Chain A
Amino acid sequence: MSPEIAGGERTRLEPGSFRDADSTVLYTDAGVFRALSAQGLEDFEALAASQLFERFAGDGRLVGTERVEAAHGDLPALRNEEVAALLRHEKIPFVSYPYEWPFGMLRDAALLQLDLLLAGLDEDLILKDSSPYNVQFRGAQATFVDVGSFERLPEGEPWIGYRQFCMLFLYPLMLQAYKGLAPHAWLRGAIDGITPTQMSAVTSARDVLRRGVLTHVRLHARLERRHGERPREVKRELHQAGFNKELIRANVSKLRKLVGRLDWIPPSGVWTDYGERTHYTDRDTEEKDRFVRDVAGSRAWDLVWDLGANDGRHSRLAADGGADYVVAMDGDQGAIEHLYRSLRDEGDRRILPLTVNLTDPSPALGWRGVERKTVLERGRPDLVLCLALVHHVSIAGNVPIREVVDWLASLGAALVIEFPTREDPKVEQLLAAKRSGTHLDYDREFFERCLGETFDVVRSERLSSGTRVLYFARPRGAVPAARDGRTALGR
């Protein structure tokens, strides 16, 4: 028995990992594991012997995986079958979902999926599904985490995952690239994605001329309506007609070309150009940078959340200051897209850019509401950066100041927060849109009182412009609950 697995009662099954009966993710204090059925083990052995396994794991595109020994008694039963083998996976610092990724991240995840498929076909392997939930990011690097997806290619069988690829990768990408419509709300509302019929309904006659729409959307929807009820017969007919892997390869290669050509140019909106910064003097910016750098370097931080991260300036300062991992969140997809592209070009693995609207963050979703987790359940930060944000949440978002501070306190993390006073030009602009006499709680003194009730303010500094104040504060009172969940994998 391996000592790492000892203590079976502490084993927790990943609640989102139940769809594939041959492979189940679980956690112990020792890390992230995957239990395989006999069939799952057979498939894994084929994968482990392949060249693609070595190649993709070598450069990080496939999650680090090793087989470990374990006694059966230590493991939870897999449905009605004993566990045949156990794999240990490298931890992903912070799990994220496709409805939090900007266009570029979803596209890179799609390309990784297709590249793995193509490499697999060379060695008679195939991916049995095509879910973006099988891809995670380490900073700006996409990595495929579900090694249980690989199986030996059944001869004469079509590509089973094609429909799922369309529903969860291709259609969301097309929506953004062709229609300028962000797919996040839809993906968040439909865990299985967009059906061919639905996608067909939102494409116009003009869209039919766009690459891939006629076949992958319109024809696909029509064939589905016509042949929907006879999968077994269709499969048999295709097999008898000599369906082969070269056909799958041709399809995947074409799809790869199509996906590679899909593009989205983020609009340069209020946020994208960091409109806030035009209100700063250069001096303010310098002072703010120094403040953040000082805090970042003051101790070792495991996980930093940069809320309202925008162009990622402060995320970078935190990472450069020695923070292990930074999650940069912003509600504006355009800003996050720009940040992702620059981080990807730099080969960054420390900063994870996510599209998250803090006044409406990702909920728990799926079966029993546990398949996909809320942001908080995926790992608590020990430092939160909240710069040029609070006035937007409080004035534009109508969240009372006390609520904002209480929520930040509930994270149990140290806090760097910027408070622009009522005299600040940006605040004046936000207030001008509201009825006079509202947002009276948006007041420096009141803010400081709220902050003082839940935090110990270690340091504060008024910036040169005179209308912005920075605070560094530590949470007061109870130590937050155990920081588990940081190891959670998507499926």
Chain B
Amino acid sequence: METEVFAYLDPGSGSMIIQILVGGLAAVGVTMKLYWRRITGIFSRGKKVEEKS
């Protein structure tokens, strides 16, 4: 389940993204999936399902 509450610390958006860029092999799958979702997201923006938190 996705947590919506942040810790008391600001994680920084850029600081989160960089973690998949420096993650090496462990990050390949996640990176591909992230960008795939972004590409498909462009075409499916209209029927995006409400996300439950």
Partner of A235, one of B9, B16, B31, B33: B16
User: Which B residues are CB-close (under 8 A) to A21?
Assistant: 8
| Chain A interface mostly | helix
A130, closest chain B residue (CB): B9
User: What is the CA–CA distance of A254 and B27 in the complex, to the nearest angstrom?
Assistant: 13
Number of interface residues of B (CB under 8 A): 34
Q: How far is the CA of A230 from the CA of B14 in the complex (A)?
A: 9
Instruction: List residues of chain A with CB under 8 Å of any chain B CB.
Output: 19-21, 128-129, 151, 154-164, 166, 196, 215-216, 219-244, 246-251, 254
Chain A residues with CB below 8 A from B23, complex form: 247, 250-251
- Docked-complex contact B34 and A237, CB < 8 angstroms: yes
- A residues within 8 A CB of B51? 236
Which residue of B1, B12, B33 contacts A241 across the interface (Cβ within 8 Å)? B33
Contacts of B34 in A (CB 8 A): 237-238, 241
Task: Say whether A215 contacts B26, CB under 8 Å.
Answer: no
B46 at the interface (CB under 8 A from A): no
Q: How far is the CB of B42 from chain A (nearest CB, A)?
A: 13
Residues of B within 8 A of A161 (CB): 9, 11
**In whole angstroms, what is the CA distance A164 to B26 when docked?**
22
Tell me whether B24 and A250 are in contact (CB under 8 A). yes
Known: A236-B51, A237-B37. A20 touches B8 (CB 8 A): yes
- Write the nearest CB–CB distance from B1 to chain A, whole angstroms: 8
Cα A254 to Cα B37 with chains together (Å): 27
Chain A positions within 8 Å of B4 at CB level:
232
Look across to chain A and name the residue whose beta carbon is closest to the beta carbon of B4. Answer: A232
Nearest 6 pairs of A and B residues by beta carbon: A223-B14, A224-B14, A163-B15, A241-B34, A250-B26, A227-B13
Closest Cβ of chain B to A59, distance in Å, is: 28
* Given A21-B8, A224-B12, A250-B23, A234-B17 contact (CB < 8 Å): yes
Sample (23) of A-B pairs whose CB atoms are under 8 Å apart: A128-B9, A158-B11, A160-B7, A161-B9, A162-B16, A163-B15, A196-B14, A215-B22, A219-B21, A223-B14, A228-B14, A230-B13, A231-B6, A231-B10, A235-B6, A235-B16, A241-B30, A241-B37, A242-B33, A243-B20, A243-B30, A244-B30, A250-B24
Q: Which of B1, B8, B19, B31 contacts A158 (CB 8 A)?
A: B19
| Chain B residues whose CB sits within 8 angstroms of the CB of A227 once the complex forms | 13-14, 17
For residue B33, which residue of chain A has the nearest CB?
A: A241
In the assembled complex, the Cα of A159 lies from the Cα of B7 at a distance in Å of 11
Q: Which of B3, B21, B26 is packed against the most chain A CB atoms within 10 Å?
A: B26
Any chain A CB within 8 A of the CB of B39? no
Q: Which residues of A contact B11 (CB under 8 A)?
A: 158, 160-163, 231, 235
| Cα–Cα distance between A38 and B28 once the two chains are bound (Å) | 38
- Also in contact, A249 and B16, with CB within 8 A (given A158-B11, A238-B34): no
Residue contact A216 to B20, C-beta cutoff 8 Å = no
Question: Cβ of A228: which chain B residues have Cβ within 8 Å of it?
Answer: 12-14
